[in-house]
Structure 1
């Protein structure tokens, strides 16, 4: 049976989705689909996936005041916290040899306890770690201490330190991670390391001197080197994001725009086939490319005619002429979306089309 892949034309041609094709290309370089990404967020901290199901497992949190005494046995804990501990044992108990999952346990408990016991959450956190994970307690507290030091450092640099570039900040962040977590840092932020390798490869490919076919081959080989054969298996990866990673490069877009339609299609086929899409999927992409090209041509024509009207009319007369043009070019429903956008200063057809993306 043929595999089906994303990007059915109906999903792209919905009016509200048009906004996507004029957004900055850098927003598309995400590649997060190739693994659970523990990423350097706005503040540089670890963004750990939320422990989904926690609230359902323990029930709604109830307000409580900090107690002078901290339970030293499981039975002394409130029932709600006993249930939380049992849930964490079942979810993470067998994974605590891995430093990433140790941080998951810590973060799950920390979020809960900080809200319920804002005055002594840290002492309670350590006590609960000891009660529910005695065999892993030393490693967990070491990870906790490292994480708290790391978070304190992030808060400090946010307030008092500046970096001359994103690269300098990233180097400083990695230095601090390695200082606090040792080699475990490379395991905890393994997904980010892979992402950084992909981005470094893309930077090297973003040059007009390389033929487009060479860029495709080198890019796909980079993905395979980093992620293994899953990178070219659409059932195990997200080929849409993978394609956009390369296609969003400025020099790649320049090359695609410079090619005649037949050669452009060949290059897009090359990329899509190299990423594992079958003939049926490639054909659907061809159909989508044709729709996008038609839409881009209509948009370019609209902007030219709109500019010409602005030279002939002004005020209310100009607005009436533009509305008539919009209705004629796009139909009444889509024209209204365009008018609403333009009232906010957004002109969807002002930017160059990103071939293969929008």
Structure 2
């Protein structure tokens, strides 16, 4: 075996063996599942994060207001059910839309051609004092859905900023600006964070730490008193969005390994990870680093073989090379390469792969 490669293979084997306990966990059924998110268990344990996640569970799309629920209403006394479930907040547009979305699915399933009349009749029984407002909200919802379907192709061809402006113009026209902003509040917050990240990425001279500080400020500004709970509930997503910035990756690439490891740990710490989760991430980073170094050596040897051999002789030598480097994964890597995919020529995304 190549002397240069042998110590690295041993180190990688030890890292993989040790990390098995760190990045895999056993499901109730007994099978092991990869834990690609060491922050997830910690985030899910927070009561505030659980409450916020429940509130945001139904994420909006460009086509539908946020708050749609997949839960079917119970059979039986629907009037009592609606009053119990939605009555305390029925005057809020967000609550109204959640209820209407649920009832639309329910009645469309029961009566595809006459569902709207059935739904309106139920609303009149459950909330007679708000019937006109709820009927109007339903009509707004249906008109908006029709508009989105009619203009889907046109919107798809527009630049992002123009598409966003056109959609919001129609939302404001149908629902009124105040109501529309309440119905799509989650989308507005996400857009604000996206715009902040673009600004952070464009800053020419900021350090990774300074960019993280700006990022946290933008989250605080966007989510206000709920920012801490939101971060706890979305640690992985928020870390990924920050690490995906080209400026952050460029800075991490330029660092020495020890400095890069410390910066990655600081980023995760700023996102609220506890010491145990931070240590799991540190170990996963070491496994990834060893894997990429091994892949770099493999690609160098592969290129040298490709310059010396061709045809069946080259393939035989590549088969032996993959077996030496990757053992059980050799066949998978061979199939990837046959399809034109070379995993070790992908860009290295520090903290991501």
- Whether the TM-score (by the shorter chain) exceeds 0.5 is yes
Is the contact made by 1:15 and 1:337 (CA closer than 8 Å) also made in structure 2? no
Alignment CA distance shift 1:313-1:33 (3 Å): farther
- Match status 1:298 vs 2:291: no
Structure 1 residues not aligned, in runs of 5+: 1-6, 21-31, 59-81
Report the Cα distance in structure 2 between the residues aligned to 1:328 and 1:318, rounded to whole angstroms.
Answer: 15
Once the two structures are TM-superposed, the CA of residue 289 in structure 1 deviates from its matched residue by 1.2
Once the two structures are TM-superposed, the CA of residue 219 in structure 1 deviates from its matched residue by 0.7
Return the TM-score normalized by structure 2. Answer: 0.77
Alignment CA distance shift 1:51-1:235 (3 Å): same
- Match status 1:165 vs 2:179: no
Once the two structures are TM-superposed, the CA of residue 234 in structure 1 deviates from its matched residue by 8.6
Once the two structures are TM-superposed, the CA of residue 93 in structure 1 deviates from its matched residue by 2.9
Structure 2 residues not aligned, in runs of 5+: 1-20, 26-30, 38-51
Number of the residue aligned with 1:45:
64
Report the Cα distance in structure 1 between the residues aligned to 2:333 and 2:34, rounded to whole angstroms.
Answer: 12
1:192 pairs, out of 187, 194, 197, with 187
Return the TM-score normalized by structure 1. Answer: 0.76
Report the Cα distance in structure 2 between the residues aligned to 1:153 and 1:127, rounded to whole angstroms.
Answer: 25
Equivalent pairs, count: 312
Once the two structures are TM-superposed, the CA of residue 16 in structure 1 deviates from its matched residue by 9.7
Does the residue aligned with 1:236 lie in a helix, a strand or coil? Answer: helix
1:201 pairs, out of 186, 196, 213, with 196
Report the Cα distance in structure 1 between the residues aligned to 2:171 and 2:189, rounded to whole angstroms.
Answer: 16
Alignment CA distance shift 1:268-1:162 (3 Å): closer
Task: Using CA pairs under 8 Å that are at least 6 residues apart, name the structure with larger relative contact order, 1 or 2.
Answer: 1
- Match status 1:311 vs 2:307: yes
Is the contact made by 1:247 and 1:355 (CA closer than 8 Å) also made in structure 2? yes
1:118 pairs, out of 104, 112, 115, with 112
Report the Cα distance in structure 2 between the residues aligned to 1:191 and 1:45, rounded to whole angstroms.
Answer: 12
Higher helix share: 2
Report the Cα distance in structure 1 between the residues aligned to 2:311 and 2:301, rounded to whole angstroms.
Answer: 17
Is the contact made by 2:208 and 2:263 (CA closer than 8 Å) also made in structure 1? yes
Is the contact made by 1:233 and 1:276 (CA closer than 8 Å) also made in structure 2? no
1:355 pairs, out of 347, 350, 353, with 350
Aligned-residue CA RMSD (Å): 3.2
